Structure 1
Amino acid sequence: MAQTYLSISDLTFTWPDGDPVFDGLDAMFGAGRTGLVGLNGSGKSTLLRLTAGLLQPDRGSITVAGSLGYLPQSITVDTERRVDELLGIDEVRKALHRIESGTADAADFDVVNGRWDIEERAVALLARLRLDHIVASPEQLDRAVGTLSGGETVLLGLTAQLLCEPTVLLLDEPTNNLDLDARLRLYAAVEQFPGTLLVVSHDRDLLERMDTTAELRNGDLRMFGGNVVEYQRIIDAEQDTARAAVRDARSDVRKQGRELVEARIKLDRRKRYGKKMFEQKREPKIVMGLRKMQAEESAGKLRNNHIEKLDDAKSSLTEAEEQLRDDREIRVDLPDTQLYSGQHVISLKGVQLACGPTITLTVSGPERIALIGRNGVGKTTLLGAVAAAGPQVPWRFLPQRLDIFHDDLSVAENVAREAPHATAEQVRAQLARFLFRGSDSDVAASGLSGGEQLRAALAMILLAEPAPKLLMLDEPTNNLDLPSLAHLTQALASYRGALLVAGHDLPFLRQIGITRWLELTDDGVAEVDPR
């Protein structure tokens, strides 16, 4: 393969509302795998969309050596469309079939452009990504997609990109909604990609497969030579150094403050002594006047010297604090959500899901249940069935897409709708627990990043009236940056009610203290040991 790279030069982009994202950004991504990390809202997805041409920069250029493929974070599939249409090979197949039947013209050969095996490659790729239940032979490429799960949609989108054989491939949160088996197959596809790969993800297992890590922070891009483990090691070491520098700077500020006070006391004493000598007229007037002028000049220099030292110490402290990263934590120690052992929560007996299996499920007390299973088996459907049956305690549901907001309302207004008896001051005080402080709570819901949406959604469901004693969460780690994932983990770990969580992120599920693991299959639900 010819040299492949992605070059970004002087990239500048501002949203229509005046919010700046990049100002003169420069970057170079060569052959190999790069994980792009950063806080939610730092511009990771925006950078990929600019590179893909979906957004136009205000200034600067983006150069792709070869062809570009892009898998966005959210994919919407019309289930009535044919598989080959969604894969982007329908026109090639039509041209191939006309050539095979002898009814082709010269334009058909241009359309095919050497891709004589496109059908076989499509079927092989679908099989490699475990989508052979959708298409098992070239003839089945004609069929309608049908109803796909979120994970199957992602894998179908990846197949479409790989069929185009791009030299530069952009993936935005590609493991969202993927079950464990599908993740392994996506990991294998990523590791086998021969060109320049740029991946935005919160999935540590995927990020550990990267050759390089790039971090977007405050509009700047910083490269780290290694995967996310090496990146985290460097950041942790830098933060240890930064915390030590802050401690030293604070100590110096206190020291310089004390010395300034001591200097002022000393100068006041000298002033009182000089005044006393002047009043007693022990020396000629001209001599005393000269001494007074010299004393005042010396006092001024001494005072200014200490003030300058204090100002320098404060500046050093400010610089040291700027190197510290935001380590604020969500606080959700809400006593009204507490459940007691044996308290009845869910009773689902012999309920047949629309996707096939018949389910019996009981939950009591503050149990924490993980619901796992392959994509499309019906985990989301089961959560819906529990909601329809009516849990026997106050409950709230956090959907995959976090589509529970009124987009034209602010964060505070959305929360207030769920807690009508709370005052505006109470709403804002509670929102501060979820890191929405001051004007942050006045931002419209439509303007929130993925991690901010997650925090706002948690605030809505946990601060609702009555307080929920059961949380049902559907793939809650989707689209979260690493700090936001840590926030969510911390929030759920301190929650006192019951949890029913559908997901595939085993490290996350273990960290929130899951007590029962249930696997949903075509035959029903069974307790399993995920080890």
Structure 2
Amino acid sequence: MTTTSVVCTDLDFSWPDGGALFRGLQLAVGPGRTGLVGLNGAGKSTLLRLMAGELAPARGSVSVHGRLGYLPQNLTLDTEARVDDVLGIAAKRAALHAIEAGSVDEAHFAAVGDDWDVEERASATLARLGLGRLELDRTTGRLSGGECVLLALAGQLMRQPDVLLLDEPTNNLDLVARELLYDAVESWRGALIVVSHDRELLDLVDQIADLRDGGVRWFGGTFTEYERALEVEQDAAERMVRVAESDVRRQKRELADAQVKLARRVRYGQKMWDNKREPKVVMSARKRQAQVTAGKHRTVHTERLAGARERLTEAERAVRDDDAIRVDLPLTAVPAGRVVVSLPGVRLRHGPRVKLDVRGPERIALVGRNGSGKTTLLRTVAGLAAPEGGEVKREVPLRYLPQRLDLLFDELTIAENVGRFAPGATDNEIRARLARFLFKGRKADQRADTLSGGERFRATLAALLLAEPPPQLLMLDEPTNNLDLSGVRQLTEALESYQGAVIVASHDVPFLRDIDATRWLRLDGEGLTRVDPM
């Protein structure tokens, strides 16, 4: 019997512009839960699409042993589709109802097969994912983004695949929905491959596949255990770099000392020649021998230095260089106690009445269920949505980073987009600032429509933080949805050095903890309530 698995053999894949992503990739994933991690642009989502058959490799093959299920990252459902369509049971239900109405058509019995309890099974699956209130005949048009993800996952579970591929499944899910998804993943018994930046989800896997430089390295255990192993490995790699650097310095000194000694011998030999203190034939032989010895000596030390440099290069390759965003914007600083924004009693559009004062450089974590109005609140503070009642008092320059990252013009380069927000800055100033956001040299000339999700986020963040005047209040709406784990770390480090006030709406609790949120507020139908840190 063939074991459930996904096998990639000698896989080559390149983008239409010729950029090679994979060259001879070898990968085999068997039963169990696998977390696929890597930097933005490493090819995680592309690899899942190759496995799912959405993309074709230039060379090599992908073999899937067993039924395959796939939940893509950018999920879109037809708003006119019914719930039973998404679950993949519409035809069976129609046949079942026809039989119940008295039909004896063989085609109806063939359609139902042995699945006579399909509706009960569907209802149980929906209830398991918190969607028990959904009727099978209902259309999906009024479902939230998170509900669409859970419904699509329910559809995959109904099909009972042997291999399930999940690409950033917790995007758009609130905390309650995430817990339901965690339960589904934890109880999975087939082969599962998940791409995610959600640390809690990745701590449910059995192994980590680290996709880097077109290859995969395996680490047994959860993501936390992977991080520990990587930390030990990197400490050892950094020690090897220091040892190799010391060896290069020593070899340089020994080569220099050898050259000094050889120079002295040459001068002594020349002096003996000039003074004619030995027979000419003896001096000529000694000169030739000295030249041979000097050449061998120089070659030995040169080879030793080259070897030391090669060992240093190898040691440096083992050290990961995942650059950090550097933000040094002193004009964003806000004195402690100063009012940044005030909502004395504002009724949100289609939402509750809220009261909120933000003072000084505090960091507010805004949490709540999907549909509770978090995005509406941020848009209202930003002046992008009018309240139904009350007034927002804005005391400092502010910027808002939306979930959809639609602030950039696709036809403009990164540098040109940033220039729109800082019209007084010169091109050289813009490029110097962009380098701090890891867009160095020609990378600043990339068009916005060619950027990956993580790159687009970084470019948008750069445009907001480099804007004129500098923002003293930064509002972020689900900022980690478009980032891999390295990108989340980069954002966390950027916010560490940002000196203004921050309001972050997010379901990513580890991220909210990492940015040291000073106040946690939950938004629900009654308004804002202060809650304990999660």
> How does the TM-score come out when normalised to structure 1?
0.95
CA distance in 2, matches of 1:104, 1:79: 34
Letter in 1 for 2:361: P
Work out the percentage of aligned pairs sharing the same amino acid.
Answer: 59
Corresponding residue of 2:8: 8
Corresponding residue of 1:194: 189
Query: How far has the Cα of 1:45 moved from its partner?
Result: 0.4
CA distance in 1, matches of 2:240, 2:320: 13
Contact 2:25 2:214 in 1 (8 A): yes
Corresponding residue of 2:275: 280
- 1:495 has 2:501 as partner: no
Corresponding residue of 2:469: 466
Corresponding residue of 1:249: 244
The DSSP-based 3-state class of the residue aligned with 2:148 is helix
Cα deviation 1:239-275 (Å, max 9, x = unaligned) = 1111011001111111111111111111111111111
Corresponding residue of 2:17: 17
CA distance in 2, matches of 1:236, 1:409: 40
- 1:381 has 2:363 as partner: no
CA distance in 1, matches of 2:260, 2:53: 67
Corresponding residue of 2:151: 156
Contact 1:35 1:198 in 2 (8 A): yes
Corresponding residue of 1:259: 254
Corresponding residue of 2:122: 122
Corresponding residue of 2:228: 233
Corresponding residue of 2:325: 330
CA distance in 1, matches of 2:346, 2:18: 52
Moved more, 257-266 or 437-446: 437-446
Cα deviation 1:11-44 (Å, max 9, x = unaligned) = 1111111111111111111111111111111111
The DSSP-based 3-state class of the residue aligned with 1:21 is strand
Corresponding residue of 1:27: 27
- 1:315 has 2:310 as partner: yes
Contact 1:83 1:145 in 2 (8 A): yes
- 1:142 has 2:146 as partner: no
Moved more, 493-502 or 351-360: 351-360
- 1:441 has 2:483 as partner: no
The DSSP-based 3-state class of the residue aligned with 1:141 is coil
Corresponding residue of 1:416: 419
Contact 1:380 1:502 in 2 (8 A): yes
CA 1:104–1:488 in structure 2 vs 1: closer, same or farther (change >3 Å)?
farther
Query: How far has the Cα of 1:75 moved from its partner?
Result: 1.3
CA distance in 2, matches of 1:479, 1:64: 28
Contact 1:95 1:104 in 2 (8 A): no
Corresponding residue of 1:85: 85
Query: How far has the Cα of 1:105 moved from its partner?
Result: 2.9
- 1:514 has 2:517 as partner: yes
Moved more, 452-461 or 86-95: 86-95
- 1:67 has 2:67 as partner: yes
CA distance in 1, matches of 2:160, 2:224: 30
Contact 2:79 2:141 in 1 (8 A): yes
Query: How far has the Cα of 1:72 moved from its partner?
Result: 0.7
Contact 2:419 2:425 in 1 (8 A): yes
Corresponding residue of 2:105: 105
Match of 2:400 among 382, 397, 401: 397
Cα deviation 1:211-258 (Å, max 9, x = unaligned) = 111110101011212111221122111111110110011111111111
CA 1:323–1:123 in structure 2 vs 1: closer, same or farther (change >3 Å)?
same
Query: How far has the Cα of 1:360 moved from its partner?
Result: 2.4
The DSSP-based 3-state class of the residue aligned with 2:192 is strand
Contact 2:437 2:459 in 1 (8 A): yes
Letter in 1 for 2:18: G
Moved more, 366-375 or 391-400: 391-400
Letter in 2 for 1:501: V
Query: How far has the Cα of 1:439 moved from its partner?
Result: 2.4
CA 1:322–1:166 in structure 2 vs 1: closer, same or farther (change >3 Å)?
same
CA distance in 1, matches of 2:351, 2:508: 25
Query: How far has the Cα of 1:106 moved from its partner?
Result: 2.6
Contact 1:41 1:450 in 2 (8 A): no
Contact 1:493 1:511 in 2 (8 A): no
CA distance in 1, matches of 2:251, 2:276: 37
Corresponding residue of 2:387: none
Query: How far has the Cα of 1:104 moved from its partner?
Result: 5.9
Cα deviation 1:82-131 (Å, max 9, x = unaligned) = 22223332222222222222246333333333332222222222222112
Cα deviation 1:297-339 (Å, max 9, x = unaligned) = 1111111111111111111111110111014221112101111
Cα deviation 1:477-518 (Å, max 9, x = unaligned) = 113222211111111122111111101122211221211111
Task: Name stretches of at least 5 consecutive residues in structure 1 with no aligned partner.
Answer: none
The DSSP-based 3-state class of the residue aligned with 1:380 is helix
The DSSP-based 3-state class of the residue aligned with 1:123 is helix
Corresponding residue of 2:349: 354
The DSSP-based 3-state class of the residue aligned with 1:79 is coil
CA distance in 1, matches of 2:52, 2:185: 19
The DSSP-based 3-state class of the residue aligned with 1:142 is coil
CA distance in 2, matches of 1:278, 1:376: 96
CA distance in 1, matches of 2:394, 2:485: 32
For residues 40-59 of structure 1, what are the structure 2 equivalents within 5 Å?
40-59=40-59
Moved more, 342-351 or 32-41: 342-351
Contact 2:199 2:510 in 1 (8 A): no
Corresponding residue of 1:210: 205
Corresponding residue of 2:435: 432
Task: Name stretches of at least 5 consecutive residues in structure 2 with no aligned partner.
Answer: 384-391
CA distance in 2, matches of 1:428, 1:392: 30
